[in-house]
Amino acid sequence: MNTKEKQTAEQAGQTRCIRCGTCCEKGGPALHEDDLDLVLNKRISPENLYTIRRAELVYDNVNGGLIKIGREIVKIRSAENTRACIYYDDRQKACSIYEIRPIECRVMACWDTTAAEALYNVNRLTRQSLFGSVDWLADLIRTHEEKCGYERISELAEKRRRKEAGAVETLLEAVRYDVELRRTVQEKTGMEEDLMDLVFGRPLSQTIPAQFGIKLVRTT
């Protein structure tokens, strides 16, 4: 809920949830260390999560507007073709996992977002907490970040804009690496495709056009 909507709720004298659905329709919450067991016990399915990696652009649900995040976020996906949280039941206007909903949802009060804002950057869940004990996967995530991290991609995009020699090819190498890594992990481990966005973040082939305005054309 952004500042204007918060003011509207305050002006309406709202002091409790009236199940308008606004919070849930704006997208799923980021997870925190408090939510770790929900994922490890699969009460929240890992396939319903994705990672927004460091320096990726995201919409700030609390204050509105796009921000470049300083630390990675593990977040609940949106339902297909909407921004609404995948666990939001639009017909019932209710959370389908209400009893076990993540901590951000438990503290959110649209008429007073003080608690939600205080929690926002505290103890966020990371891939290290989820996969750090699986050595081969933690190594792959680290290598992927070295080659495909958004700070590097951002530098390459800027070099491409300045028409520096080799920038386009190096950028494309990163995109190809991102594609191949996902394919290889799937083939060799049988990991579900739906898990890839949690393990390696969203594919560069999707985020580079959106973040940097660079059109990518697949040739093979």
| Binding positions for ligand SF4, rule: CB under 6 A | 24, 28-29, 76, 85, 87-88, 95, 97, 101-102, 105
Task: Identify the three-state secondary structure at position 139.
Answer: helix
Minimum distance from residue 19 beta carbon to ligand SF4 (Å): 10
- How far apart are the C-alpha atoms of 79 and 103, rounded to whole Å? 20
Copy the structure tokens of residue 184: 């290889």
CB of 101 to ligand SF4, least distance (A): 4
Q: Where are the alpha helices (DSSP H) in 26-89?
A: 36-40
Q: Which is nearer to ligand SF4, 85 or 153 (CB)?
A: 85
- Least CB distance from residue 96 to ligand SF4, whole Å? 7
CB of 19 or CB of 183, closer to ligand SF4 = 19
| C-alpha span between 199 and 202 (Å, rounded) | 9
Question: From the CB of 49, what's the least distance to ligand SF4, in Å?
Answer: 11
C-beta closer to ligand SF4: residue 76 or 156: 76
Contact 199, 53 (CB under 8 A): no
29 vs 178, which CB is nearer to ligand SF4?
29
Two tokens at 51? 């990672």
Min CB(210)–ligand SF4 separation in Å: 23
Rounded-to-integer distance, Cα 131 and Cα 125, Å: 11
How far is the C-alpha of 156 from the C-alpha of 163, rounded, in Å? 10
Beta carbons of 125 and 68 less than 8 angstroms apart: no
Q: Fill in the amino acid letter for 59.
A: Y
- State whether the Cα torsion 112-117-119-124 is positive or negative: positive
Residue 74 Cβ, how far from ligand SF4 at the closest point, in Å? 13
